[in-house]
Amino acid sequence: MEEAIEKARILIEALPYIRSFRDKIVVVKLGGSAMDSGDALDTVLQDIVFMETVGMRPILVHGGGPEISKEMKRRGLKPKFVKGHRVTDAETIDIVADVLRNKINPDIVSRIKKLGGMAEGVTNEDGKTLRARKKTIVVDGEEIDLGFVGEMVGVDCGLLFNLCLRGVVPVIAPVAADETGQKLNVQADSVAAFIASQLRPEKIVFLSDTHGIRTDPNDPESFASSLSEQELAELIEKGIIDGGMLPKVEGCLLALQAGVTKAHIIDGRIPHALLLEIFTDKGIGTQIVQ
């Protein structure tokens, strides 16, 4: 009886959030440890199916870095990164597109359908859904050519809106194209943030390998439950936020500046982390607010 009462209490706690978020778009970036095993992935996708079932409109953007690196090594290529960006030559971009479009994306779509949801892969085969331009970065005053690496400049919002209105979860592979149709490798964090900046969803959520953002890099318990844009800017300036966390934080800031209400960084290793962050009072990660 006590267990049943506790379940009812949890449902009642979630009720105002379910009402508030009904018909609202939420962009979710899936990567890191949440994709390391089938069981962990299915747990996240169960949350996605739940969100869609109660009337939310999730849009899922997935990564695939470890699988891409594994396939490169299998073909005798050595992955190379500059400031978190994969150096992508002609052979590598074909591997990136093949792994993301033909392996990871259809697997996620299939898993969502097996869990009772509706999903459709968005893989940009025609080069029109995700548009980008070639990206370069500057290191120690020198401009570095990363190859076929891009930064987002456009997205087909109508396609994503229509899928959401039909109750279908768009599952997006981060392979963009330039104006000539050339495939470009774009960080999944950046794709998710750009989509959020254009669609202005209720929330954007990044699944990470940590419980959120630390305010003290030497203190593993210094995770912040909530931060403002100004506080984030100070943490970046001090070098406290760097490495793989930096693109996620920059994505959060881009989304907030475009009018998104809240951004979240949560630990994808925690079972049902999405539901706990969205549908409970306390949440479990770091929320970032304007």
Query: Which has the higher per-residue pLDDT, 265 or 121?
Result: 121
Instruction: Identify the band that residue 128 occupies on the pLDDT scale cut at 50, 70 and 90.
Output: very high
Mean pLDDT, range 5-13, rounded to an integer: 77
Asked if residue 79 is part of any domain, the answer here is yes
3-class DSSP assignment, residue 115:
coil
For the cut 90, the answer to whether the pLDDT of residue 146 exceeds it is: yes
Query: Cα separation of 65 and 115, whole Å?
Result: 25
Q: Which of 32-36, 153-157, 214-218 bottoms out in mean pLDDT, i.e. has the lowest?
A: 32-36
Total number of domains in the chain:
1
Asked if residue 165 is part of any domain, the answer here is yes
Query: Cα separation of 245 and 265, whole Å?
Result: 9
Asked if residue 153 is part of any domain, the answer here is yes
Backbone angles phi, psi at 70, to 5 degrees: -60, -45
Which phi-psi region, left, alpha or beta, contains residue 79 (left: φ > 0; alpha: ψ -120 to 50)?
beta
What one-character-per-residue DSSP string does 210-269 give? Answer: SSSEESSTT-TT-EESEEEHHHHHHHHHTTSS-TTHHHHHHHHHHHHHTT-SEEEEEETT
Mean pLDDT, range 62-71, rounded to an integer: 92
Which phi-psi region, left, alpha or beta, contains residue 270 (left: φ > 0; alpha: ψ -120 to 50)?
beta
Mean pLDDT, range 143-163, rounded to an integer: 95
For the cut 80, the answer to whether the pLDDT of residue 290 exceeds it is: no
Asked if residue 11 is part of any domain, the answer here is no
Asked if residue 6 is part of any domain, the answer here is no
Q: How high is the pLDDT of residue 277?
A: 84
* Domain interval for residue 148: 19-289
Tens-digit pLDDT profile for residues 168-181: 999 999 999 999 99
Asked if residue 9 is part of any domain, the answer here is no
| CA geometry: angle 1, 14, 165, nearest 5 deg | 130
3-class DSSP assignment, residue 75:
coil
Query: Cα separation of 118 and 167, whole Å?
Result: 7
Backbone angles phi, psi at 195, to 5 degrees: -60, -45
For the cut 70, the answer to whether the pLDDT of residue 33 exceeds it is: no
Query: Cα separation of 288 and 213, whole Å?
Result: 10
Question: Exposed e or buried b for every residue in 253-268, given b needs 16+ CB within 10 A?
Answer: bbbbeeebebbbbbbb
Tens-digit pLDDT profile for residues 67-101: 999 999 999 999 998 877 899 999 999 999 999 99
**Residues ≥6 apart with Cβ < 8 Å to 53:** 116, 117
| Bridge pairing between strands 262-267 and 226-228 | unpaired
Mean pLDDT, range 218-226, rounded to an integer: 79
Residue 200's CATH number: 3.40.1160.10
Asked if residue 228 is part of any domain, the answer here is yes
| DSSP designation for 88 | B
Q: How high is the pLDDT of residue 208?
A: 80
Asked if residue 206 lies in contact with residue 33, where contact means CB atoms within 8 angstroms, the answer is no
Asked if residue 13 is part of any domain, the answer here is no
